[in-house]
Amino acid sequence: GELDIVATDGAVLVVCEVKTRSTVAFGDPCEAVNWRKARRIRHLATRWLAANEDCWAEVRFDVVSVLRQPSGAALVRHLKEAF
């Protein structure tokens, strides 16, 4: 597995999962991040933190939802502290 985005927001390390869909027929893209997926992302983040020497006092887990529109545009939603 891999982490989609690892970034910083000031002194906070942000681990962000990105979910993209072209339809909401199977639910909002954010709904694809269930407890199993969140647990896997937390585990990967722990491994990432162990492999990097920087010390982060705070880690935040976000989700970015991308819903493709028929026009070709995208509806993007950023959920901070999603889990």
Assigned CATH topology for domain 5-79: Trna Endonuclease; Chain: A, domain 1 (3.40.1350)
pLDDT 10s digits, 43-77 = 999 999 999 877 888 999 999 999 999 898 999 99
| pTM over 0.85, yes/no | yes
> DSSP strand E in 1-83: where?
5-9, 12-21, 58-68, 74-79
pLDDT 10s digits, 2-36 = 999 999 999 999 999 999 999 888 888 998 999 99
Residue 4's pLDDT is 98
Q: CA-based diameter of the chain, in Å?
A: 44
Domain definitions of the chain by residue range: 5-79
Q: Tell me, what amino acid is at 46?
A: T
